[in-house]
Structure 1
Amino acid sequence: MLRRSLFNLLLGNSEATSLTQETVTGIAMPDYLKTEDINPLVQEFDEITPGQEVELMVSTAHFFNISWSLATGSSVIAGLKLGIKVATNEVQLPIELGLHADGYLFIGGVKDNRRISKEKSTQSLQLLLEVHPQAGNLTYARLTLKDHYGLTLATVKNRSFSTENWAGKINNVGQFVKHLKIEGSTLNKFSPNKSEYTNYE
């Protein structure tokens, strides 16, 4: 009590209150922690042919994931290219990820050290990309490869991309993709094409 009284005498109640209010109002909540004015959003595609592009409609400032199935065994990359910008002056290469022809799972320049055998790669495989926004506008991305039994074959992680890096179009740079599903959220003011997504109220 004595310390509090001395503090009030030195600074005054009004100044102490003003100092406290200024400190609190100066702290902004990161976008990825905000839950107001956002709605769940799901985009689903039965198939994506090689070279086909689709629009990523979810907010990359919040958590999102992309899952897809494919039958590999070819000499080409089995994966996706994300963050394709249209009509922009930004100098940014899209993010490539997936299962490379040499059998390694990768996100950008980072690859897992476990090599998938040709026997495994000829089976039906499932991939799951999870992107978690972090402080400083960065992201934590994890790509998981599973076999048709649901067992994890490989996992690769990458923290080098910002939330803006993921925004844009998605291109299938590999083989035939089946059952591509994107789950995330979007702002209330955003109204994407309803023929390409399901918006749960």
Structure 2
Amino acid sequence: MDRRAIFNLLFKGSSVNEPIVSEPDPVLETPAHLKTEQAIPVFKQWTDLPAAGNFKLGLSTAYAFTITLDLNYPMKAVNPEQILNLGIQQDRGSFIQTGINKNGYLFIDNLVDSRLITMDKLLTGIQLVLTVNPLGFGMSFARLKIMDSAGLTLATLKSMQYTTRDWAGEMRLSTPSFNLLRIEGLNEAEPGQ
């Protein structure tokens, strides 16, 4: 027996006379949050607070979504010393608070950013952008970003501690004065559509 035959026996290699057949790549299942062919795009925007005081999200948190809040303090008088709170409340009562606290720091519930946003930057007009992306296994990645009136990012805060269900429900603002509130995402298609 020659050396090649011994190696073939030991390492279960194919015989020299057997043809090499390539195996197809294993098919991986697409995660549910990436299957968007049955989803309906959702785009809503408001310039005033609804009479009920809460905003209906009307989107599925199984998909990524973005909430954008434009504030232009010189045009709409608001007390910059108070907390700006963009909160999402579930039906069962839990509440995720996001925004800028009275000291000028971004926060998502107990997580607070270490970068101070000075009051002069806040008074020139800002835009808060909350982006939530599903990660699979029911968890989500949330990013809260604040930009100035020129579109430059002043600070960003990221969190992976919430499930996708934590973001479902109604949204409310602590301040009734804002220029534009926009929600973009996807919703499940109704059967038969």
Coarse TM-score class (shorter-chain normalised): 0.7 to 0.9
> What residue is the counterpart of 1:176 in the other structure?
177
- 1:73 positional shift: 4.8
Tell me the TM-score normalised to structure 2 length. Answer: 0.76
What CA deviation, in whole Å up to 9, does each residue of 1:4-62 have, x standing for no partner? 99xxxxxxxxxxxxxxxxx98xx865321222311111011112379820101111100
What CA deviation, in whole Å up to 9, does each residue of 1:126-164 have, x standing for no partner? 111110100211000001101111111111011111110
- What secondary structure does 1:48 align onto? coil
Rounded to whole Å, the distance in 1 between the matches of 2:59 and 2:172 is 16
Change (3 A) 1:73 1:82: same
The sequence identity of aligned pairs, in percent, is 32
Rounded to whole Å, the distance in 2 between the matches of 1:178 and 1:144 is 17
Change (3 A) 1:121 1:49: farther
What CA deviation, in whole Å up to 9, does each residue of 1:139-190 have, x standing for no partner? 0000110111111111101111111000000011235122100000112218
Q: Which amino acid aligns with 1:167?
A: A
Rounded to whole Å, the distance in 1 between the matches of 2:51 and 2:188 is 30
- 1:83 positional shift: 3.0
- What secondary structure does 1:120 align onto? helix
Checking the alignment, whether the CA contact within 8 Å between 1:123 and 1:148 is kept in structure 2 is: yes
Is residue 81 of structure 2 the alignment partner of residue 75 of structure 1? yes
> What residue is the counterpart of 1:117 in the other structure?
118
Checking the alignment, whether the CA contact within 8 Å between 2:48 and 2:176 is kept in structure 1 is: no
- What secondary structure does 2:113 align onto? strand
> What residue is the counterpart of 1:132 in the other structure?
133
> What residue is the counterpart of 1:36 in the other structure?
37
- Greater fraction of residues in helix: 1
Is residue 108 of structure 2 the alignment partner of residue 102 of structure 1? no
Q: Which amino acid aligns with 1:157?
A: K
Checking the alignment, whether the CA contact within 8 Å between 1:49 and 1:177 is kept in structure 2 is: no
> What residue is the counterpart of 1:15 in the other structure?
none
> What residue is the counterpart of 1:144 in the other structure?
145
- 1:113 positional shift: 0.6
Measured on the aligned residues, the alpha-carbon RMSD in Å equals 2.5
- What secondary structure does 1:98 align onto? strand
Structure with max Cα Rg = 2
Rounded to whole Å, the distance in 2 between the matches of 1:50 and 1:151 is 33
Rounded to whole Å, the distance in 1 between the matches of 2:173 and 2:52 is 5
The answer for unaligned runs of 5 or more in structure 1 is 6-22, 191-201
Is residue 67 of structure 2 the alignment partner of residue 61 of structure 1? no
Checking the alignment, whether the CA contact within 8 Å between 1:130 and 1:141 is kept in structure 2 is: yes
- What secondary structure does 2:120 align onto? helix
Rounded to whole Å, the distance in 2 between the matches of 1:48 and 1:101 is 22
